Amino acid sequence: MPESEVIQIGHRKNPKSQISVTSGVEIFFLIGLLGAAYGTVWLGVHLWMMINGQMDMWSDYLTQRHIHAIMQIYLFIGLFIMGFCYQAAAKQLEVKEPKPELAVVLTVFPLMGLLYQTINPLVGKVVLALPYFLTAIYVFSLLLKSSLKNIFSVGILLLCGLLALTRGVFLNVADPAMAVMVVWGGIGGVLLATQQQFLAGFFGAQRITGAGAFFTNLFYLCSLYNCYMFVSLRDFGHYKWVSIFASLTILTFILSTKGWKVIRSMLIDPLALAFSFGYLWALYGALLMFQEIVSNDLIQHTWSTGWIFPIIFATSLKIISFLSQKELMKPNTQIVMIVLWQIVPLGRAVLPLYTSLAVLPWLVGIAATVVFVSWFYCLLKGILTVRKLNEKAASLRSA
């Protein structure tokens, strides 16, 4: 398949960039964005100020931490991840699929599931898990029609990542060790799959194939097996193997995609910068796991704030800018934001190991708020424009 086709990810085509995007995915981003606003800017920053003694502890701190954990994984990042799947999976697997527009219905389940957990925890969890499980079934149905080459390059990572996210709903993700497993096994797997099309389409890199695909999948599956054993037995022997196999997965992924090529564009393209910083943080987090004494909270936030958020930031702006036919945030501004954001993983996950500078919590809180609010504003503007364009197109069709 020519590389240009790899990045055709939906229906609205742009003759210049060859991108096209499935309409409807913006709803996943919209709900995810609202989840992010509450989960990160409100809860994340407040909890952070509290544990650093910069404000009084809320009496229900533990409950709020639990809500932050679920919101961040399942109502923010999880929804973006599902959006990426519905936008990209069929194209990446080269399956001609009727548009999965009905999937938009799934966006209501995470919030319902979170709320319902206060009434009946088990039913709430089932409702929260449902959209992730149905998305896994959707991907599985695509795999049945796809080629072995595509299954090895994106299919296994995508399907296993979604199943790990589904399983994670039934774990206590407010427990940092469990969160590490879900973030790596679930979000990590889906991200490694879906980002390949951007690497191949924009930066002269490629999708994983041949031996590279075989070993990336093998190491990832070995890491998942050890995640599963760690979650079941709480045995730190397995924890170390998660670290080893996660590091090997990331290294093999970078080598086999030729992902280092993004470095050439990192000063001009925000997505390249997000990938460059992101994969360094991903590797750092995986290696950090090898030392048992390091807090799981730091490892988990190394991944979520260093690797995952910047990639979601740049990817979502690229997709929604294209869909709304507007430049939502200038590339230079995005680059400044991604650089500014680096204060968050540094201050949240690295510097606390070495210093307890009083100014640090404030720097992290301010950087997180500034970047999030700017992203929120621009993306929301874009999503509302996309909705208007879609409505206009629908009324023209029915006229």
Residues that bind ligand HEM (CB under 6 A): 40, 44-45, 47-48, 51, 65, 68-69, 72-73, 77, 173-174, 176, 179, 297, 300-301, 304-305, 309, 344, 348, 364-365, 368
Q: Are strands 12-13 and 20-21 parallel, antiparallel or unpaired?
A: antiparallel
Q: To the nearest whole angstrom, how small is the minimum distance from the Cβ of residue 185 to ligand HEM?
A: 13
Q: To the nearest whole angstrom, how small is the minimum distance from the Cβ of residue 70 to ligand HEM?
A: 8
Q: To the nearest whole angstrom, how small is the minimum distance from the Cβ of residue 109 to ligand HEM?
A: 19
CB nearer to ligand HEM: pick between 215 and 372? 372
H helical segments located in the chain: 3-6, 25-36, 45-51, 61-70, 78-92, 108-116, 121-145, 148-150, 156-168, 176-182, 189-194, 196-202, 210-233, 236-257, 270-288, 296-301, 309-324, 331-341, 343-345, 359-398
CB nearer to ligand HEM: pick between 179 and 286? 179
**How many residues are recorded in the chain?**
399
CB nearer to ligand HEM: pick between 64 and 333? 64
Residue pair 328/321 in contact by the 8 Å Cβ criterion: yes
Tokens of 346: 């540094």
Q: To the nearest whole angstrom, how small is the minimum distance from the Cβ of residue 6 to ligand HEM?
A: 28
CB nearer to ligand HEM: pick between 224 and 349? 349
Residue pair 274/307 in contact by the 8 Å Cβ criterion: no
Tokens of 151: 């299954």
CB nearer to ligand HEM: pick between 256 and 300? 300
Q: To the nearest whole angstrom, how small is the minimum distance from the Cβ of residue 159 to ligand HEM?
A: 22
* CA 365 – CA 361 distance, rounded (Å): 6
